[in-house]
Structures are given as structure tokens and as C-alpha cells.
Amino acid sequence: MDFALNKEHEMVAGTVRSFAQREVAPVIAKNDEMQYFDRDILKKMAQLGFLGICIPQAYGGAGMDYVSLGLVCEELEAVDTSLRVILSVHTGLSSMTMLTWATEEQKQKYLIPQARGERIAAFGLTEPNAGSDVVGILSTADKQGDSYILNGEKMWISLADVADQCLIYAWTDLDKKKRRDHSGISCFIVEREMGLQTGTIHGKLGIRAGNTGWIAMNDVRVPVENMLGQEGEGFKIAMSALENGRYTVAAGATGLVRACLESSLKYCKERQAFGKPIGEYQLIKEMIAKMVCDYDVSRLLYLKAGWMKNEGLRHTREVALAKWYACDASEKAAADAVEIHGAYGYSSDYPVERYYRNCKAAVIYEGTREIQKLIQADYALGYRIDNPVRKTLPKWLPDE
């Protein structure tokens, strides 16, 4: 088993690291303070091919593998979580889902512009009353002739105010809705121009430099050809999308652990207490050692999931474990980093305060920590068995 990154992987990681340090690191503290989302960053990321990093060149992407996607997410979140969220939503939840489920016509119309960054995509599953409980959504899609009429509201939608199109999940079978039968949910590709209304959520604890908002649908007319997959496949599509999202979140959380470690190492060598650098004290070393361990474990877990994606293997358990572990690790690392920095860690003078606020969201979205624990237990107990019929990402092959 080879754990070494190839030259392409190293090049990708280095390019993203340089980009993030050059374009974002100097301004991120101010953007976070002002709760300002810099839309220009999307254009810059598109120009470098980040937004379609793992989408085949035939569909407008960079044609790199899923390990490359993980490395991009790690490097982006090592600077700020808001950058990684863009990849999670636009690429992981939307473009990769289209790559699996879309018709050729849909790929030509929607996937290619997304992979090129010409159009930005969002993912509309969560609602004010429904998060982990997917069948609790209330949005409906009523078929009328050659269209569906969508009504409902989505909440906590990343990129809501900047997206050109969104994958929207809604009930197409109201009888199944009453029975909470998830086979009554369908997925639609909905363009903003079709009538989506959006707004931004302010006052978030963290990821303040990212755009998070709501989407309202009031008799939005969507052509039947904009249904993704078949009627009633929305739940399966959402679950496959969340596997992609969990992968990007795990890789990003790994980057946050690394950021906490690097900031703490630097401070340990600068700060003295009782006549010597604080890094020489055993309790500080214990926290540093835990960060080192958690970084390596988190990285190995997401790289394994990335390898499985490359091979076209089912990876529900593995990616859930990577997401659970890395997000827990980032929360612990951020808390310890603040403690290592003492009073300064509680202020915006150092980035660890922002890391501490940012880390919490990842424990919740793309499946809460509790959901990931249930997945692991159900596999171990034999209550959950993979369905070989359910679609996975196509096996990655280099473009000719």
C-alpha cells in the first residue's frame, strides 16, 4: 500500500496553498469581522480550475481525481472554512451529484458551466423544520403538464445569495409524504431565473466570511426535463450527495486541525512563562501531541475515502467515519489552541479565535456527529448493509 502523494497531488496542494495565502490570508480576518463574502474569490478559484477539480475534462473540469479534491479542501480550510464550504457545496454536493445522476443533456447544460465556474450552484435540502430528518421536509412539487410547480422554503443554504442554480428536493407524492415514505421525494435542477427568492442569514457564530441564507419558492415553475434522476429518487440522490459533502468536510476539518497546530507551535516558541518557552511544559506538549496525532489520523481517513472514490467503491461507512473523526478532532484542536494562546486566544489578535468559532458548524452539517455515530454502530451490528444497486460516483480514470 502506497501512502505517498504523486507529483500531481503535490502540485495541486502547493498551488492551492499559495493561492489561499496570497489571496485570502491577508484579508480573511477583516472579512470575517465584517461578515463579508467576497464574490470575486469565486472567479479566482474558477480560473485556477478549483471549482471543477475532480470533474472530467469532457464536462469542463480539471480532470483530476478525488484525492486531489480532498487536498484542495484541506489547503483551503487551513486558511479559512468559508473557502472550503464553496468546494463542499458547489463541487461536492452539486457537480459531483450531477456527474452521477444527470442525463447527458443536463450535463451539457448545467454541469459544464458549473465545472468551469461560469455558474455557481447550491444545494437545497435543509428546511426550517427539517435537517437530519430528511423526510420531514415540507416543500412540494406539483406536476402540471410539462412542468412542476414548486412551493416551500429552504434554510441554512450555503451560497444561497450567489448561486445561479440549485438542487432542490421536494415531495412529488403527497400520499407518501403523509406516510413519511422517502420514495415520494424528488430532486430538481432549479435556476434562479425560474423564480427563486433568496436572503442572507446574519449573526452566525462562525464562517462569517461565507454566504449562508434561505431560499423561498412561491409557485416556481420548473420544466419536467429539469428533474434529476427519476421521480421518487430524490432521497437516494441526496444521500449520495451527502457522501461527497462529508468527504470534503472531513478533508477540510483536517486542514483546520493543521492550522491550529501550526498556530500553536508558533506561539509556543514565542511566548514565555516562568522564565522559559511555554512549549517546554508537559501539559502544553500533551495538547500539541494530540493535535499531531489527530491530524495524521484524520488525513489518513480522508485519503482512504478518496482512494475508494477513485476506485468506484462504496464508501458510506468510511467517509462517515472520516467526517466524524476529523470534525471532532478539529473541535478539540481549536479548543486547545485557544487555551495554549491564553487570553490572546480569546481575542481576534490571533486566528485561533476564528478557528474555534468556525469548527463547530462542521460537527452539524452534512450529517451531525450523532448521525455519523449511528452509521458506524449500524454497520458494526449488521443492521446496515450496503445496497449494490444504489449509484456511486463513476470510477475515476485519467482523461485521454
CA torsion 38→43→47→51, rounded to 10°? 80
pLDDT digits (tens, 9 = 90+) for 360-381: 999 999 999 999 999 999 999 9
pLDDT band at 391 (very low <50, low <70, confident <90, very high): confident
Q: How far is CA 93 from CA 59, 98, 102, 266, 376, in A?
A: 16, 9, 13, 35, 22
Write the pLDDT tens digit of every residue in 189-229: 999 999 999 999 999 999 999 999 999 999 999 999 999 99
Task: Decide if pLDDT at 325 tops 60.
Answer: yes
The residues assigned a catalytic role are 366
Calpha distance 398→400 (Å, rounded): 6
- Across the chain, mean pLDDT equals 96
Q: Which fold has domain 236-381?
A: Butyryl-CoA Dehydrogenase, subunit A; domain 3 (1.20.140)
Query: 388: pLDDT confidence band, cut at 50, 70 and 90?
Result: low
For domain 7-120, the CATH class is mainly alpha
DSSP-derived letter for residue 115 is H
- Which set of grid coordinates corresponds to residue 8? 500531481
Q: Taking Cα atoms as reference points, which of 217, 226, 213, 297 lies closest to residue 258?
A: 297
* Percentage of the chain exceeding pLDDT 90: 95
Residue 140 pairs in a beta bridge with 151, 171
Instruction: Assign residue 331 a region (left: φ > 0; alpha: ψ between -120 and 50; beta: otherwise).
Output: alpha
Give me the pLDDT at residue 216, please: 98
**Gyration radius of the chain over CA positions:** 21
Question: Which grid coordinates are listed for 101?
Answer: 445522476
Its pTM surpasses 0.75: yes
Q: For the residues 245-266, what does the mean pLDDT come to? A: 98
Across 153-157, average pLDDT: 98
pLDDT in tens, 69-107: 999 999 999 999 999 999 999 999 999 999 999 999 999
145 dihedral zone (left: phi>0; alpha: psi -120 to 50; beta):
left
400 has pLDDT over 50: no
Over residues 340-367, mean pLDDT: 97
- Tell me which residue has cell 449520495: 240
Beta-strand relationship, 212-223 and 165-171:
unpaired
Query: How far is the CA of 271 from the CAs of 108, 162, 276, 341, 355, in angstroms?
Result: 56, 42, 8, 9, 20
Fold designation for 122-232? Butyryl-CoA Dehydrogenase, subunit A; domain 2 (2.40.110)
Q: Spell out the domain ranges in the chain.
A: 7-120, 122-232, 236-381
Residue 227 cell numbers, joined? 428533474
Is the pLDDT reported for residue 399 higher than 70? no
Query: What's the pLDDT score for residue 181?
Result: 97
Residue 1: its pLDDT value, please? 63
Residue 272 pairs in a beta bridge with: 277
pLDDT tens by residue, 376-386 = 999 999 999 88
Is the Cα dihedral 19, 24, 25, 26 positive or negative?
positive
* Alpha helices in the chain, H assignment, sequence order: 7-23, 28-34, 40-47, 66-77, 81-86, 96-101, 104-106, 112-116, 174-178, 234-270, 282-310, 316-341, 352-362, 369-381
